Structure 1
């Protein structure tokens, strides 16, 4: 097999010599006893070498314009994606607005509102809500007891609770 020096290998693969030395030091690439590298070993590590094709006619490539065109196309794609996202958001918010408007519609005229309704008596709090038995004249009606709990007229004000430091610094307040 053909053996190549580090310089020949770097030119063949178009890589830096230091990269080849690093691969040798790490054990990825091995050298022969004559300090040359087999082509088969280089192919195993770096793959097939890139062969330069001879260009007979000079190809005119306007790299600056092509790079600008590529950049502008990428920006157009980004703007199209942003526009699609904005349209999706707009339709979502429009649906939310329509839903809220349907929920907030004014009540119909034939419907009664909460303020128009008569308040019903609460059985638990109103003692008058018990049906009064009819008096037939033969028995004496029972007098209902006053079920209200008397509230004292004067309530003593509880002293303000004091913390630890106020007890220490102001013991007689």
Structure 2
């Protein structure tokens, strides 16, 4: 690719040299190792030159607007695909909701057969259970023997604890 000096670039694009130096200092435009600016770098920053210059190699350059249009078209296609996927998910979930509603409505028709039967006792509405005193565990009404813990008939007395040396030197007992 052809490299241009700052003076050649200013003549080619018809801009001031100070503008080119400002772009280089800001990092918008870069120079190569021999302090010249590559033509592709100048086209990226300033666009196609209005004055045609003699270029030995044929250069095919897309204008910045066509690259933007291509990118926007790709984004539009991606968004259309996402929208189609969302519509498919919505119809699937709507079908699932309708199926669940049909399943919930089915037992209501059979409830008329069960209406004649007596319902099972409900603890919340049963008044007989409320008449019994409730044991809150804080007060003792009458001592009751715990049926779960068996009391042994014969209990051996507990032996006195002995120290380390007394185990060896004193008799058992």
TM-score normalised by length of structure 1? 0.35
More helix by share: 2
TM-score normalised by length of structure 2? 0.35
Greater relative contact order: 1 or 2 (C-alpha under 8 angstroms, separation 6 or more)?
Answer: 2
